[in-house]
Amino acid sequence: MPVLTAGGAGVRHRRRWLFRDLDVRINAGEKVAVVGPPGSGRTTVLLALTRRFRLSAGQVHLTGTAALGYVPEVSEPENVLSAAELVQERYLLLGRRPDTEINWHGLDPSLRGFELSPFQRQVLGVILARLAQPQLVALDATDEGLDESERDQLWALIDELAEDGIAVLFSARSVDDSRVATVINLGADQKEEVK
């Protein structure tokens, strides 16, 4: 069952298209990668597909909740709050009481936002996104600032989300096509190709 369907989606900025004519369908538990070099529009595609960025053309239909994980400069953790305080704050914003024990995935809950490494920001982003009980989680820049071990650990988290039936939409500079259901390739010429 699709959790996200996009048809003819596009975003135009001034006289040029950042991306256009994007058709994609994401089912529950699928992993979909938005891939391209820096400046190719990966973050814009990610935000547009989760309805956090206004489309200039086409449409995006979500059948459930889409939650943002870590998206640099969009969903940055508050510098002075600890990871535990950020979780408490998210529960308050969702209007919910903590209903389960938090799996910290090795993250120290006492670390403050400014102390978090790029990998730890990704882990915290997944934790915070899951609190909304979403059908889709979006993560940006999943291969930036991470060493090989951290990338493997992040892949394990992404796989865990998918195994739980949550669709995962993420951006990266490159990806092993065999690990995902769909790859949205964005090139320097701003033409996208969906495989």
Rounded to whole angstroms, the Cα distance separating 68 from 170 reads 10
CA dist 116 → 7, 79, 80, 85, 111 (Å): 37, 9, 11, 14, 7
Q: pLDDT, tens digit, for every residue of 95-132? A: 988 877 899 999 999 999 999 999 999 999 999 999 99
Architecture, CATH, for domain 2-194: 3-Layer(aba) Sandwich (3.40)
pLDDT at 39: 86
Rounded to whole angstroms, the Cα distance separating 122 from 116 reads 9
Q: pLDDT, tens digit, for every residue of 1-42? A: 899 999 999 999 888 888 999 999 999 999 999 999 988 899
Q: pLDDT, tens digit, for every residue of 137-163? A: 999 999 999 999 999 999 999 999 999
pLDDT at 159: 97
Rounded to 5°, angle at Cα 40 from 62 and 122: 60
Q: Is the pLDDT of residue 195 over 80?
A: no
Rounded to whole angstroms, the Cα distance separating 21 from 64 reads 23
The average confidence (pLDDT) of the chain is: 92
Task: Report the amino acid identity of residue 127.
Answer: I
* Confidence grade of residue 191 (pLDDT, cut at 50, 70, 90): very low
